[in-house]
Amino acid sequence: MTTNETGTHGAVLADRAPEKDSPVVELRNAGKAYGNIRALHGVSLTVHPGQVTCVLGDNGAGKSTLIKIISGLHQHTEGEFLVDGEPVRFSTPREALDKGIATVYQDLAVVPLMPVWRNFFLGSEMTKGPWPLRRLDIERMKKTADHELREMGIVLDDLEQPIGTLSGGQRQCVAIARAVYFGARVLILDEPTAALGVKQSGVVLKYVAAARDRGLGVIFITHNPHHAYMVGDHFSVLRLGTMELSAERSQITLEELTNHMAGGAELAALKHELSQVRGVDVEELPEEADLTAPVAVTKEAAS
Amino acid sequence: MTQHAEPAVTSPPAPGLKDTDGRSAERSMIVRLLARPDVGVFLGAVAVYVFFLIAAPPVRDASSMANILYQSSTLGIVTVPVALLMIGGEFDLSAGVGVITSALTASMTAYQLSMNVWVGVIAALIASLAIGFFNGWMVVKTGLPSFLVTLGSFLILQGVNLAVTKLVTGNVATDDISTMDGFDQAKKVFASSFDIGGVQVKITVFWWLLFAAIATWVLLRTKYGNWIFAVGGNRESARAVGVPVAFTKISLFMLVGVGAWFVGMHQLFSFNTVQSGEGVGIELIYISGAVIGGCLLTGGAGSAIGPVFGAFMFGMVQQGIVYAGWNPDWFKAFLGVMLLGAVLINLWVQRTATRR
Ligand SMILES: Nc1ncnc2c1ncn2[C@@H]1O[C@H](COP(=O)(O)OP(=O)(O)O)[C@@H](O)[C@H]1O
Ligand SMILES: [Mg+2]
């Protein structure tokens, strides 16, 4: 787990090809209750290599709960959870990691005060030397981290700087590069763009696409349908803990997705309200939104 | 109005990757150096040393320095693991009375069973490790703050020390063990002195520096050290990337037990008997030493070498006041001022490190 640089990574690349079509991760009618709070119920989801599965939903819809099951932080209380077709039940994140399921958390799973390179290798440090003197192979870790980050297009002057001094987007990218390096087959991203500006979101989306192109199955959690539609192959919408929609990209337009997200009726009401208050050209709303981030709409309204 | 809004839509001047790098490079060397936790306390220690060199002429004597270092070492040997524990995000309020518990265990086991004193020494080590394990296990399993858990064990041990000693020996102190088998040998290990250029230096000074050196190496150069920073800096993140959080925390508490055991053995083999009521209040000196040494009270940052200077400052002030002929009552006031100063510096470091 510690000293091999290419082991898991290489092995995964080698035997992924034949099972291209079978899902790596699958949920069948899975659910989760926190005591008597039913956070998730009857959710089915498949993740294929080289594809981005988007999970959308409002705050509290159960998105984080869903990925916590897959990443081993929580256990499902109903239904089935399969990895490579085998039913599993993870009790620690380590077990999920060992199956190649890596998660970039909403709160980023980094230790802000620790240097970038230490964060990159945290929990899977490279070592050298026999036991009583076994020590970190600092030089190799720094070189590898630098190389891997450059590979993903992230250039940092100083890997010794605390990761907390990086911007939110940079931190996300380091976390993604880290997961890719450690041979993840499935990459889970919990609202990676939630706290980011337009441009930084674009950077993160680019790395999501890069990870997908390397053959990883990606689960992309977001409540922004525009971001989802830019990279997604499959869309699942959660509402109050149940699956409201599950559709392939070919079956759905961005407008329909946005409608599902907001709830068709609610959106209609919102449109009506906006037209009353500000005289916004409501017919334009979805089209505008197609091309740019929602910020653009506000600007249109303001001018 | 429109002019202001326009660029915000087309291309917001969000910092790109390159821009950020340019800025971080501008942060000067001096700021970076001062941001190192051990550099600040080193300067503090030098300042205190120079101050007493001037204010208290006897301090200039080599034998006074040996005495100051001895004082520092008896605090410092426990301060080192307490500092590691603090970097790992936890406290141990039971370390001070734990020293006495360990010494009492060794003394009474050997005396009551009329065995070689080494039997008592081993029994004491087991007891100290068990106390550390209990503290760590309680903290990890219940999720309670270690302040509460170890406050509990502090009170328990304080009571047990007095009551069990009374029960076994019928006294407040243990019996003299200086004539028992193995005593001289154990005294060599824990409480002997070396002659260096005509000055007697206690062996604890060497142990202290050795332990600090090992701790520094472990902290900066091993996997375990990486985990200590991680579990203190962000426990949940550490767990999520596969760091064994429970193992790391419990073992840190047990290391504090080892430190307490060592000083307990030193006291036993220096004074031959143990006063069961001692050790209360010393735990706060250890914690202050770690904080002054640059360890973040909230965990995740610090060093093992900083607390060496922290302990040295305490030993220096404690003895310096005596050599200067002042009222020793000022000692605690000095400690308080140094502690507050160190905390303010820590706060500033944390803000600098996390600021974008
Ligand atoms: N640890 C927990 N204990 C109890 N309830 C929880 C816990 N975590 C989440 N919930 C509840 O589960 C629901 C779904 O939460 P979450 O999965 O975090 O939603 P999302 O990530 O989509 O915003 C919420 O109603 C939340 O209050
Ligand atoms: Mg969430």
pLDDT tens profile B18-46: 444 444 445 566 666 666 667 778 888 88
Per-domain boundaries in chain A:
115-182
Residue B280's SS3 state is coil
Which residue puts its alpha carbon closest to atom 21 of ligand 1? A64
Residue B145 has pLDDT above 60, yes or no: yes
- A186 vs A176: CA distance, rounded Å: 11
Name the range with the highest mean pLDDT among A119-123, A174-178, B37-41, B100-104.
Answer: B100-104
Task: Summarize the confidence of residues A105-130 as an average pLDDT.
Answer: 86
What per-residue confidence (pLDDT) applies to B201? 95
- A277 vs B200: CA distance, rounded Å: 88
Q: How many CA atoms lie within 13 A of A184 on its CB side?
A: 29
Residue B353 has pLDDT above 80, yes or no: no
Looking from the CA of residue A57, the nearest atom of ligand 1 is 22
- A109 vs B202: CA distance, rounded Å: 46
Query: What stretches of B171-310 adopt beta strand conformation (E)?
Result: 193-196, 199-202
* Whether B5 and A292 lie within 8 Å, measured CB to CB: no
Residue A42's SS3 state is strand
What per-residue confidence (pLDDT) applies to A172? 80
CB atoms < 10 A from the CB of B298, how many?
13
Which residue puts its alpha carbon closest to atom 1 of ligand 1? A34
What per-residue confidence (pLDDT) applies to A3? 41
| B114 vs A: CB within 8 A | no
Q: What angle do CA A212, A215, A221 make, to 5 degrees?
A: 35
* Whether B25 and A158 lie within 8 Å, measured CB to CB: yes
A244 near A237, Cβ under 8 Å? yes
Looking from the CA of residue A61, the nearest atom of ligand 1 is 22
Question: What is the percent of chain B where pLDDT is above 90?
Answer: 69
- B138 vs B94: CA distance, rounded Å: 14
Task: Summarize the confidence of residues B180-200 as an average pLDDT.
Answer: 93
Residue A75 has pLDDT above 50, yes or no: yes
What per-residue confidence (pLDDT) applies to A214? 84
Report residues whose beta carbon is within 6 angstroms of any ligand 1 atom.
A 34, 37, 39, 57, 59-65
What per-residue confidence (pLDDT) applies to B231? 97
Place of tokens 């939104």: A289
- For ligand 1, the distance from its centroid to the CA atom of residue A96, given in whole angstroms, is 21
Residue A265 has pLDDT above 60, yes or no: no
Write out residues 87-116 of A within 8 Å (CB-CB) of B: 92-94, 97, 103, 105, 107-114
Nearest to A199 among B12, B225, B355 (CB): B12
Which band of pLDDT confidence, cut at 50, 70 and 90, is reported for residue B296?
confident
Residue A106 has pLDDT above 70, yes or no: no
Nearest to A122 among B15, B238, B355 (CB): B238
Residue B349 has pLDDT above 50, yes or no: yes
Residue B152 has pLDDT above 70, yes or no: yes
- Nearest residue of B to residue A150 by CA position? B17
Residue A247 class from Cβ within 10 Å (0-12 exposed, 13-18 middle, 19+ buried)?
Answer: middle
Q: What is the DSSP letter of A162?
A: B
What per-residue confidence (pLDDT) applies to A223? 83
Looking from the CA of residue A58, the nearest atom of ligand 1 is 22
Task: Summarize the confidence of residues B307-322 as an average pLDDT.
Answer: 92
Residue B100 has pLDDT above 50, yes or no: yes
**Full DSSP string of A103-132:** EE-TTTT--TTSBHHHHHHTTS--EES-GG
For residue B241, report the phi and psi dihedrals to the nearest 5 degrees.
-95, 10
What per-residue confidence (pLDDT) applies to A152? 72
Which residue puts its alpha carbon closest to atom 17 of ligand 1? A62
Distance from CA of B307 to the nearest CA of A (A): 19
ipTM metric: 0.79
Distance from CA of A205 to the nearest CA of B (A): 15
- B54 vs B324: CA distance, rounded Å: 10
Looking from the CA of residue A223, the nearest atom of ligand 1 is 22
B-chain residues near A299 (CB < 8 A): 5-6, 8-9
A97 near B242, Cβ under 8 Å? yes
Which band of pLDDT confidence, cut at 50, 70 and 90, is reported for residue A12?
very low
- B47 vs B316: CA distance, rounded Å: 11
CB atoms < 10 A from the CB of B82, how many?
33
Average pLDDT, chain A: 80
Distance from CA of A197 to the nearest CA of B (A): 7
Nearest to B9 among A134, A203, A299 (CB): A299
- A171 vs A282: CA distance, rounded Å: 37
Alpha carbon separation from B91 to A72, B48, B87, B156, B289 (Å, rounded): 29, 27, 9, 17, 13
What per-residue confidence (pLDDT) applies to A293? 37
Task: Summarize the confidence of residues B292-321 as an average pLDDT.
Answer: 91
Which residue puts its alpha carbon closest to atom 7 of ligand 1? A34
Nearest to A113 among B239, B243, B353 (CB): B353
Place of tokens 């202001």: B4
Q: Which pairs with CB-CB distance under 8 Å and at least 24 residues apart come from B328-332?
A: none
Task: Summarize the confidence of residues A239-257 as an average pLDDT.
Answer: 87
B242: left (phi over 0), alpha (psi -120 to 50) or beta: left
Residue B228 has pLDDT above 60, yes or no: yes
Average pLDDT, chain B: 87
Alpha carbon separation from A101 to A47, A79, B20, B337 (Å, rounded): 11, 20, 31, 51
What per-residue confidence (pLDDT) applies to A1? 39
Residue B106 class from Cβ within 10 Å (0-12 exposed, 13-18 middle, 19+ buried)?
Answer: buried
- What CATH number is given for B67-350 in this structure? 1.10.3470
User: Looking at this protein, which amino acid is placed at residue B33?
Assistant: L
* Whether A136 and B24 lie within 8 Å, measured CB to CB: no
**If we measure between CA atoms, which residue out of B261, B260, B267, B289 comes closest to residue B41?**
B289
- A123 vs B100: CA distance, rounded Å: 37
**If we measure between CA atoms, which residue out of A96, A56, A42 comes closest to residue A260?**
A56
Beta bridge partners of A221: A55, A190
In degrees to the nearest 10, what's the CA dihedral of B215, B221, B225, B226? 160
Q: Which pairs with CB-CB distance under 8 Å and at least 24 residues apart come from A285-292?
A: A286/A254, A286/A255, A286/A258, A289/A226, A289/A254, A289/A258, A290/A226, A290/A254, A290/A255, A292/B9
A-chain residues near B213 (CB < 8 A): none
A65 near A149, Cβ under 8 Å? no
pTM over 0.80: no
What per-residue confidence (pLDDT) applies to A18? 43
- B342 vs B232: CA distance, rounded Å: 19
